[in-house]
């Protein structure tokens, strides 16, 4: 469906990963919205076609091979209609696509959590090392005090 989504994390290029990741989520979100719209429209078309066919059967049951008009007979005739089966298949396929896009979005959410953990780990290592920020300033201050003594 267009754009290739990479679910692997390149640990050596975190900045690029974070920049690309937001776009990936937006893209999959758009695809999911399109799929939801397709499911809604196909579901509405199927419901309308079933209603129209049931109405046509009630109007002239003999054209559909029904001698006695009952709800069960109408339901059976509607379910067996080729047009209805085709619309049901199209709806099932749209629902499958929607599920696939939802799965891709969930995978991207998991990747978000992994990236957040990786950034947190990086920050912990960076700011926890002796050569970093506060530790370096404290050591310089201690060295100056030792020089004065």
Condensed to tens digits (0 to 9), the pLDDT of residues 89-102 reads 999 999 999 999 99
134: left (phi over 0), alpha (psi -120 to 50) or beta: alpha
pLDDT computed for residue 103 by the predictor: 93
pTM of the predicted protein model: 0.69
pLDDT higher than 60, residue 19? yes
pLDDT computed for residue 46 by the predictor: 96
Alpha helices for the chain (secondary structure H) = 14-59, 71-80, 82-128, 133-148
pLDDT computed for residue 81 by the predictor: 92
Q: Where are the domains of the chain?
A: 14-148
111-140 pLDDT tens trace: 888 888 888 887 787 676 666 555 666 667
Q: How far is CA 8 from CA 17, 24, 59, 74, 141, in A?
A: 9, 12, 59, 53, 44
């Amino acid at each position: 469906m267009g754009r290739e989504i990479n679910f692997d994390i390149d640990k050596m290029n975190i900045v690029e990963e974070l920049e690309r990741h937001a776009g990936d989520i937006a893209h999959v979100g758009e695809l999911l919205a399109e799929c939801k719209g397709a499911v809604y429209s196909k579901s509405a078309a199927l419901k309308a076609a079933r209603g129209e066919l049931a109405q046509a059967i009630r109007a002239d049951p003999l054209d559909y091979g029904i001698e006695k008009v009952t709800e069960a007979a109408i339901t059976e005739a509607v379910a067996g209609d080729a047009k209805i089966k085709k619309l049901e298949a199209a709806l099932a396929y749209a629902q499958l696509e929607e599920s696939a896009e939802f799965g891709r979005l969930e995978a991207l959410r998991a990747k978000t959590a992994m990236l957040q953990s990786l950034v947190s780990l990086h920050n912990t290592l960076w700011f926890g090392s002796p050569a970093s920020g506060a530790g370096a300033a404290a050591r310089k201050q201690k060295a100056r005090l030792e020089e004065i003594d």
